[in-house]
Amino acid sequence: MNVRPQWLKVRAPSLKEAEEIKILRDILARYHLTTVCQGANCPNAVECWSARTATFMLLGKSCTRTCRFCGVPTSDPGGVVDWEEPVRLRAAVDELGLSYVVLTSVDRDDLEDGGARLLATAIAGIKDSGKQSKVEVLVPDFSGDEQAITAVAAAGADVIGHNLETVRRLSPHLRDRRAGYDLSLRVLGKFKKLAPASIIKSSLILGMGETRTEILQALRDLHNTGVDAVTLGQYLRPTGKAIPVARYLLPEDFDEIARAAQRIGFRFVMSGPLVRSSYHAPEMFNRECAS
């Protein structure tokens, strides 16, 4: 049985942090919004929520896909879409006074456009609010549909992310059968072409059985596709149904991989045991734009 090492243990919130978390939780509840922090059991929830930052998860709390490492529940929403969600999201963003907004969504294979129209509406609503908020969006693959990808690309997000998740060899075993290593690379390449002003971002989860050689090849594949920024973090088993952790990487392993990624040529790299796709996203964007 794998025992979680000390550097992966998260602390309880302080009293002040707990107050900030309650404020954010109350606002989310009032606007009927959810976050990936809740749905995916993110280990950074205390740190992010206490700073009033969160990744809003749109299009429901359940995903139509079943990836073996994910904690988000799976179901068939039957084509139901809450078209008022972008309106409530914009109101919540205004109330929270957010200057940087991170959006994501579950996979919605039950919808013809995969949910692209709602995501594009949500992005445009924030960008058109006059508040000058920056928007980062982490999207599904939309089954590679050109119209869906074009709709999101045209919405004006400052950062567009799609996660490769794992290395080529493990992808068919760990990801839903409708996903794919090459499909994800094609989607990222299309976003790079259609939204040249946006930062294109992807992520790898490590500790699921990949080798160092495979990690480096995946990073080269992402860079060759045109990805600008990459994040790498440790896989933590979210539920008993998810695959077990194959290996806990040491903090110095993540440092070494970060240096390798920088040598490959990425404009920005964030690598560490608790790093997730949107971890410290505003800092990444600000550093990227300043470079």
Domain spans of the chain? 11-290
Residue 82 or residue 51, greater confidence: 82
27: pLDDT confidence band, cut at 50, 70 and 90?
confident
236 closest CA partner among 251, 253, 249, 255: 249
Q: Dihedrals φ, ψ of 187, to 5°?
A: -60, -45
Please name the residue that has the structure tokens 């960008």. Answer: 127
Task: Judge contact between 108 and 59, C-beta under 8 A.
Answer: yes
Which 8-state DSSP code applies to residue 143?
Answer: G
Nearest to 157 by CA among 189, 205, 110, 125: 125
pLDDT in tens, 258-273: 999 999 999 999 999 9
Sheet with 268-271: list strands edge to edge: 34-35, 55-58, 100-105, 134-138, 159-161, 199-206, 229-234, 268-271
Round the average pLDDT of the chain to a whole number and report it: 89
Select from 3.20.20.70, 3.20.20.140, 1.20.1250.20, 3.40.50.300 the CATH code of 11-290.
3.20.20.70
DSSP SS3 for 74: strand
Average pLDDT rounded to a whole number, residues 104-129: 96
Give the model's confidence band at 39: pLDDT under 50 very low, under 70 low, under 90 confident, else very high.
Answer: very low
Mean pLDDT of 3-30: 78
Mean pLDDT of 107-111: 97
Asked whether the predicted pLDDT for residue 91 surpasses 70, the reply is yes
- The owner of tokens 């995501």 is 119
Quick one: average pLDDT of 52-60? 82
Please check the confidence at residue 2 and state whether its pLDDT lies above 60.
yes
Q: For residue 104, list its beta bridge partners.
A: 57, 138
